[in-house]
Structure 1
């Protein structure tokens, strides 16, 4: 107990500020200890990602689109930072409540820890101890808050505690600072422990991919137009976009990975990692695109994938005549609904293990993911895939279709101006206009460019790897001084023109022509 006199009126603002600081320091300690505990025992159950995962699951489609539009592939980091800021703000309020009435703020910390623990144990990939980090975080924050608030001095003079010690503002600030520092250091330490203890990263680094038994097409030397600023024909792994629901990247040991094919089939099939490596693998370039990609956006990329044709795997399972959909499931519970026909026709739909000549990066689905040409990723490109359930669209729904997105998600014809960049300045004379266009599983037959309201001009297409990949294009413009609009549109292999009307990404992908503005001097 601290022996206190009634607080002078002039001391109350300082007391509230100290209480808010106590709450923030306590929350930092709780988050740090929870993060370290998760790193040591249950990596998938760290408190912040657990809360973030629940928010992603509960968020309406417009919220997801807004995050991606604002932050792109940094949406997950932005979400974590937002959650951290919100928790620190709530911690500050809880500290003030604790200062006004004992245990009121501590009860908030305990309740938050309990709520996060409940979320953790109900997630798809929850282990037996999934609740532990959040419970420990809540208890640590509550106890630290109780202790720090009791050390807040009434005024500038020392407050005498029942044990005979005295607390001053300097002593309180030191204790709060140490508490916050311990929290930050344990959080950083937990992140380092997790990064340093990922045995799966070591396994991946040592893995040698088998040679492909067949190749869809070999990209020849010199196929890339190599125009500065133009997206390369093959997107490097480090630059490939990443959009998924996993705040903590799953770490699957290939030795423990198994794929189950079941549902409306004559024969259930189970496939282990060694089984997959022993099969005749195929290499094929395929362009993937996210349904959240805005007109002219960067959520699209082209890579050379190595994997086993999914149609061959389904042929072993022998789907029943009534089936029309495959519900794929990742190790963290994400699901995608893919039309059965897209997995059994002649396209290179792969159970992929390799990307651009190396094992899949962890963030792109290691050890195994799906790659399906012609469909947006939310209905086809399941990472860390562990299950294929053959079913029907009228019986089952997937993660994003349950949230208002269309069921089948065919990619729409799109093109983009990469060069010149919007709002850039160029000298009058010859200016190279270049970009990419894509319509996977159909192909692109042409791209046209328009300056302002002038007649459309045919661009030169680069090397066409296959109907499943994007194609580079270029056109030389004799630019005249002044501000100008540069617009592009594509024509697919069936002769269809890219849709002019601007439509948002929801519920089945954006449409419209991409336009950039430039100044010519």
Structure 2
């Protein structure tokens, strides 16, 4: 228990020091975040897909929890080892520091937080081990070794011969066994311990004692808590852009879109809202901590294979003509029937107009967007310049972009999954070739283009719901962005396809909701299936394929029970 407490106390001090230093060097340089970000970069694609499927938007929380749990186990091991071999415990914290520095270097983050965290952890470990170890168990008396037992106080026969000077004559004949005390021996009047006993040794010192060690351990934990609290407060004060976002007033669009008509959403309880509220909009990315980019310092650089490189401030961007766009954004990680899709009214400047002003050179093949946290997203140039309304978005559903969705600026390209079109926290645009650079996801094996597949899902009734016999409303959503949805069909237990009623169409870049009245007969379980036809006449394929490497395909189905 003592070793475990020492290790955990030292680890708490190390993390607090690392986070406190990171409050000055940047949140991404905090040791745990550095290691977590590096772990995300190194995680194989199948494992990433598994994490998204099983943990959803909580995948980052699960990752961080795993890192903290692993660190706690290693800290316990370090404390136990240190009580036996101090150098071994110190080596564990040196490993902590080295791993954190390597992870920070891989993300171009500061190394100092991890280095100082390792030093602090090792220093606290050494201090607590020394306080916990017992000291000497016996104290010597001044003047040499102490006599014990009968030899300490026994009558010594006087040798025969003349009496010692000043000695009294013996009252009996024969040699006297008792005489005056020899020099240095105690007199009879002194408090001499009885024969066979010895003078007790002084109290054995034990470092600071058990109580002192516990006080030092408690002080370490309290100090770590104070330092961690200070680190979070400093980080929020120095890097949080919430106030800047709240104070921002976006200009009006050059041509405001009319309100979304009610006819786009069938009045069916349980059906997703047509326009997804910002707080409910899905978030799938690799950022363990949200980049905090102040609008006052934001710059967008457009360079590479262009005739006229451009650099814009945020005010420059807001002075450009702003346009509204109703657009359904979907994630390539979405499984058939999955939740990683949403529709919003976006506000932003035309991305194709900016590229044309910069002058895209012959031979350019892709636009690589870079985010403030280093993410790279590649978009084929020919799709950007084919007339689709791609945006440098600054607003979402009537307010500035939420930080979780890219504040102050992100890119959007209708018809493409987010991993090839939607760079959040955008700070750089490079026009280049496919051979020159593989963006983050392409480097990991995903398709380079990222065209959105036709998809549809049943939302009502919910999976495994129990419904009464008779008419039952079945409803859901379908999308094939930039191609549109022309038809949706539903069937029961593999029977003939029945055409569903489509809600009003807001345009090819948004999803389309539908409903169908099912005559539910026959008690027991039933399987409902749905498929969609896009605006080109292509029917959604039946074959199920996983998201990797180009998006999931297949019909969505659900099982309900008729009672």
Q: 1:175 to 1:468 in 2, by over 3 A?
A: same
Match of 1:11 in 2: none
Change (3 A) 1:177 1:482: farther
How far apart in 1 are the matches of 2:7 and 2:338?
42
- CA shift for structure 1 position 193: 4.0
Match of 1:3 in 2: none
Return 5+ residue gaps in structure 1 as ranges.
Answer: 1-16
Q: CA deviation at 1:93?
A: 1.5
Please say if 1:334 is aligned against 2:375.
yes
Give the corresponding residue for 2:562.
520
Given candidates 92, 95, 98, the residue that maps to 2:82 is 98
Alpha-carbon deviation of 1:520?
Answer: 2.0
Tell me, in whole angstroms, the C-alpha distance in 2 between the residues paired with 1:505 and 1:162.
69
Which of 447, 457, 480 does residue 416 from structure 1 map onto?
A: 457
Aligned with 2:59 (options 28, 50, 75): 75
Contact 2:390–2:411 (CA under 8 A) maintained in structure 1? yes
Tell me what 2:392 maps to: 351
CA contact (8 A) 2:133 2:206 kept: no
1:138-173 CA-to-partner distances (Å, cap 9, x unmatched) read 112112222233344679x99x999764433x6545
Report the CA distance between 1:399 and its aligned residue. Answer: 0.5
Say yes or no: does 1:208 pair with 2:266. no
Q: Would you say the 8 A contact 2:501–2:515 is kept in 1?
A: yes
- CA shift, 1:76, in A, is 1.2
Structure 1 partner of 2:550? 508
Question: Does structure 1 retain, via aligned residues, the 8 Å contact 2:331–2:341?
Answer: yes
Deviations 1:287-346 (A, max 9, x none): 111111111111111111000111100110111121121111111111011010221122
Q: CA deviation at 1:401?
A: 0.6
**Aligned residue in 2 for 1:64:** 48
* Residues 1:167 and 2:209 are matched in the alignment: yes
Cross-structure match for 1:290 = 331
CA contact (8 A) 1:486 1:516 kept: yes
Of 112, 116, 120, the match for 1:136: 116
Q: 2:21 and 2:89 mapped to 1: Cα distance? A: 23
Calculate the aligned-residue CA RMSD, in Å: 2.3
C-alpha distance in structure 1 between counterparts of 2:218 and 2:544, whole Å: 53
SS at match of 1:259: strand
For 2:37 and 2:453, how far apart are their aligned partners in 1?
A: 29
- Aligned twin of 1:146: 126
Which string of whole-angstrom CA distances, capped at 9 and with x for unpartnered residues, describes residues 164-219 of structure 1? Answer: 64433x65455445534543454355334433554521010011111011356642
Distance 1:265 1:87, change over 3 A: same
* Partner residue, 2:528: 486
Name which of structure 1's ranges 366-375 and 60-69 shifts more when overlaid on structure 2. 60-69
> Do residues 499 (structure 1) and 541 (structure 2) align?
yes
Matching residue of 1:24 = 8
User: Counterpart of 1:12?
Assistant: none
Partner of 2:439: 398
Residue 216 to residue 497, structure 1, CA distance change in 2 (3 Å): farther
TM norm structure 1: 0.90
**8 Å contact 2:320–2:349 — kept in the other structure?**
yes
Which ranges of structure 2 fall in alignment gaps of 5 or more residues?
A: 139-201
Check whether the contact 1:28–1:88 (CA below 8 A) recurs between aligned residues: no
**Deviating more after overlay: 247-256 vs 358-367:** 247-256
CA contact (8 A) 2:264 2:512 kept: no
Alpha-carbon distance in 1 for matches of 2:526, 2:233? 50
Instruction: Please state if 1:385 is matched with 2:426.
Output: yes
User: Aligned to 2:499, which of 442, 455, 458?
Assistant: 458
Identify the range of structure 1 (182-191 vs 232-241) with the bigger mean alpha-carbon deviation: 182-191
User: Between Structure 1 and Structure 2, how many residues are aligned?
Assistant: 498
Q: CA 1:37–1:228 in 2, change beyond 3 Å: closer, same or farther?
A: farther
Deviations along 1:231-289, one digit per CA (max 9) or x if unpaired, are 11111110111111111111111121111111111111111111111111100011111
State yes or no: 1:262 paired with 2:303.
yes
Structure 1 SS opposite 2:449: coil
Question: Which of 272, 286, 294 is 1:231 aligned to?
Answer: 272
Shift in CA distance, 94/476, structure 1 to aligned 2, threshold 3 Å: same
Instruction: Quote the Cα distance in structure 2 between the aligned partners of 1:304 and 1:64.
Output: 30
Mean Cα displacement is larger for which, 146-155 or 474-483? Answer: 146-155
Which segment is superposed worse, 460-469 or 172-181?
172-181
Distance in 1 separating the partners of 2:485 and 2:500: 12
2:193 maps to none
**CA contact 1:103–1:146 (8 Å) conserved in 2:** no
Question: Which residue of structure 2 aligns with residue 45 of structure 1?
Answer: 29
Q: What does the per-residue CA deviation read over 1:415-457, in whole Å, with 9 as the maximum and x for residues that have no partner?
A: 1111111122222222221111111110011111111122211
Is the 1:285–1:304 contact (alpha carbons within 8 Å) kept by the matching residues of 2? yes
Residue 111 of structure 1 corresponds to which residue in structure 2? 95
Q: Distance in 1 between matches of 2:232 and 2:319?
A: 36
The alpha-carbon distance between structure 1 residues 177 and 502, as it changes in their structure 2 partners (threshold 3 A), is farther
SS in 1 for 2:311: strand
Contact 1:263 1:389 (C-alpha < 8 Å) held by counterparts: yes
Residue 366 of structure 1 and its aligned partner are, at CA, apart by: 0.5
